[in-house]
Amino acid sequence: MGFLVKKRGFLAPLLLALLLVQRLSAVVSALNYTSYRQVSSMRLERIQRHLDKINKPPVMTIESPDGDIIDCVHKRKQPALDHPLLRNHKIQRNPPERPRVRTLKEDDKTKKSNVEEGVIRGSWQTWHRNGTRCPKGTVPIRRSTVHDVLRSKSLFDFGKKQAPISLARRKDAPDVVSANGHEHAIAYTGSSQEVYGAKATINVWDPSIQVVNEFSLSQIWVLSGSFDGSDLNSIEAGWQVSPELYGDSRPRLFTYWTSDSYQATGCYNLLCSGFVQTNSRVAIGAAISPVSSYTGNQYDISILIWKDPKIGNWWMSFGDNTLVGYWPAELFTHLANHATMVEWGGEVVNSRANGEHTSTQMGSGHFAEDGFGKASYFRNLEIVDSDNSLTAVQSISTLAENTNCYNIESSYSNEWGTHFYYGGPGSNPLCP
Ligand SMILES: *[C@@H]1O[C@H](CO)[C@@H](O)[C@H](O)[C@H]1NC(C)=O
Ligand SMILES: *[C@@H]1O[C@H](CO)[C@@H](O)[C@H](O)[C@H]1NC(C)=O
């Protein structure tokens, strides 16, 4: 212990602790962040050393109007390359092959009809409003702060997701509320398939969160391995509102991966080593804007995740085919081959803070049956098959643990292919 203190001296942590108490009052808004007022300087010291590891020295820094600090970090200095399996990793510039689009005609129709309607627009990222861009050869990384870590349960938990319920358990007892209080309204593919990727266009909203350690997210899961064992491999991306992770209630673009059922490996965004970012304009973990409004303009984001058939890395693109980066094949066991299931939809944490169901919203906070402009949607669900072709999902199953709290309704149309509305308000007389 002595050497820890000696390394940095007593003063720095002490000052930091003082600063923290001072800044807390400014941070508190609708949500209560006061629960971490007691912070030992030892803990601050540990946190600072962790931050020094994950926040890489920037070439340039951009201040987002929403308060985020975006560091432009040289590609070769990004956190991914700290991973023991990626020491000699050669960063890929482009995947050799993108998925072929089989339903080109359908896609043209989609674009045309959206333009005609004039009510759906692609959403982008808030920090771009600064006007400054990250220089070529760098990647934009949202800087983590002491506050970000202090809001998590522990340094170990920072950036990690608690294991959600197993799908096996969902099938056997779909009415059982999961141990961690995670609740879902999801669509999923059958488990007998070999899947090499998934795509969807996701409506973006800013659902309200009742307590700081709850979240509401809307995402794609690309899964392989067993839900019951400790070897589930998962790649996830979408938008989330997580006051714990980000200190505010804005919807943010996020990624997640794990190769051991959410235990020791993986994390959100670039909060651990693994995901290799290649894009200089998309910051993972940064806020998405604009956001849809009730009966008003609708905004959505498109996310495609697929496995490069030659090298085996799992790539992600955002919006109109903008490559964001990739999860190297080395990170995975089952996903080193292929995925066996894809899920699309919403997830919230219900911590029953007041002994009642949380009022944290999923999607827009409105039930599926309210439809366009009111309920949140996922449209044009597609999967990538073994031919590296992107095809419309033919049949999906849906699941929601308690449809009085959050529900889902899937449908098919020419313009939107396989799609669904989902979400809900949580707490209400039928969801006590
Ligand atoms: C915030 O939480 C603390 C402790 O949990 C509590 O004492 C305080 O009253 C809360 N403040 C607000 C504004 O809710
Ligand atoms: C953009 O970021 C720079 C660097 O942090 C900052 O000096 C500037 O004020 C920011 N501009 C806007 C419009 O927020």
- Is residue 429 domain-resident? no
AA letter at 76: R
Which ligand has its closest atom nearest to the C-alpha of 132?
2
Structure tokens at 324: 């964001």
| Most informative mutation of 60, 62, 143 for ligand 2 (most atoms within 8 A of CB) | 62
- Is residue 59 domain-resident? no
Structure tokens at 1: 């212990």
CA distance 41 to 39: 6
Claim to verify: residue 31 and residue 113 sit in the same structural domain: no
Q: What is the pLDDT of residues 58-89, one digit of tens each?
A: 999 999 999 999 999 999 999 999 999 999 99
Per-residue pLDDT of the chain (432 residues; tens, 9 = 90+): 333 323 333 334 444 444 444 343 333 344 555 455 678 889 899 999 999 999 999 999 999 999 999 999 999 999 999 999 999 999 998 777 889 987 544 444 444 444 334 467 878 899 999 999 999 999 999 999 999 999 888 888 899 987 655 444 444 333 333 557 899 999 999 777 899 999 999 999 999 999 999 999 999 999 998 877 788 999 999 999 999 999 999 999 999 999 998 888 999 999 999 999 999 999 999 999 999 999 999 999 999 999 999 999 999 999 988 999 999 999 999 999 999 999 999 999 999 998 999 999 999 999 999 999 999 999 999 999 999 999 999 889 999 999 999 999 999 999 999 999 999 999 999 999
Claim to verify: residue 121 and residue 173 sit in the same structural domain: yes
CA distance 421 to 378: 7
Structural domain including 33 reads: 2-54
Helix (H) or strand (E) holding 346: strand 341-349
Claim to verify: residue 330 and residue 205 sit in the same structural domain: yes
For the chain, the helix, strand and coil percentages under 3-state DSSP, each to the nearest 5: 20, 30, 45
Claim to verify: residue 50 and residue 108 sit in the same structural domain: no
Q: Tokens 């602790």 sit at which residue?
A: 17
Contact status, residue 262 vs residue 176, Cβ threshold 8 Å = no
Which ligand has its closest atom nearest to the C-alpha of 33?
1
Claim to verify: residue 218 and residue 89 sit in the same structural domain: yes
CA distance 331 to 93: 18
- pLDDT value at residue 118: 42
Contact status, residue 191 vs residue 334, Cβ threshold 8 Å = no
Contact status, residue 157 vs residue 314, Cβ threshold 8 Å = no
Contact status, residue 218 vs residue 239, Cβ threshold 8 Å = yes
AA letter at 236: E
Q: If you measure from the C-alpha of residue 17 to the centroid of ligand 1, how many angstroms do you get, rounded to a whole number?
A: 20
Residue 23: phi and psi, rounded to 5, are -75, -20
| Most informative mutation of 34, 36, 151, 212 for ligand 1 (most atoms within 8 A of CB) | 34
The residues carrying an active-site annotation are 236, 347
- pLDDT value at residue 17: 44
Task: With both helix axes pointing from N to C terminus, report the angle between 11-27 and 41-54 in degrees, rounded to the nearest 10.
Answer: 80
- Is residue 69 domain-resident? no
CA distance 193 to 421: 24
- Is residue 395 domain-resident? yes
AA letter at 228: D
Structure tokens at 246: 């980000």
| Most informative mutation of 59, 63, 142, 143 for ligand 2 (most atoms within 8 A of CB) | 63
Residue with CA nearest ligand 1 atom 14: 32
- Is residue 292 domain-resident? yes
Claim to verify: residue 50 and residue 190 sit in the same structural domain: no
Paired with 221 in beta bridges are 236, 343
Claim to verify: residue 36 and residue 119 sit in the same structural domain: no
Structure tokens at 417: 């292919």
Whole-model pTM: value is 0.86
Contact status, residue 151 vs residue 36, Cβ threshold 8 Å = yes
Claim to verify: residue 109 and residue 32 sit in the same structural domain: no
Q: Is the peptide bond before 290 cis (omega within 30 degrees of 0)?
A: yes
Q: How many domains does the chain have?
A: 2
- Is residue 41 domain-resident? yes
Q: Tokens 């919230």 sit at which residue?
A: 348
CA distance 217 to 239: 6
Contact status, residue 360 vs residue 348, Cβ threshold 8 Å = yes
The radius of gyration of the chain from alpha carbons, rounded to an integer in Å, stands at 21
- Is residue 64 domain-resident? no
Contact status, residue 418 vs residue 432, Cβ threshold 8 Å = no
Claim to verify: residue 151 and residue 235 sit in the same structural domain: yes
**Alpha helix stretches (DSSP H) within 127-270:** 146-150, 167-172, 243-246
- pLDDT value at residue 395: 87
Claim to verify: residue 132 and residue 262 sit in the same structural domain: yes
Q: If you measure from the C-alpha of residue 150 to the centroid of ligand 1, how many angstroms do you get, rounded to a whole number?
A: 16
Residue 370: phi and psi, rounded to 5, are -70, -25
Claim to verify: residue 332 and residue 362 sit in the same structural domain: yes
Q: Which residues line ligand 2 (CB under 6 A)?
A: 61-63, 65, 130-132
Claim to verify: residue 253 and residue 331 sit in the same structural domain: yes
Which residue from 346, 353, 160, 185 is spatially nearest to 244, judged by alpha carbons? 160
- Is residue 224 domain-resident? yes
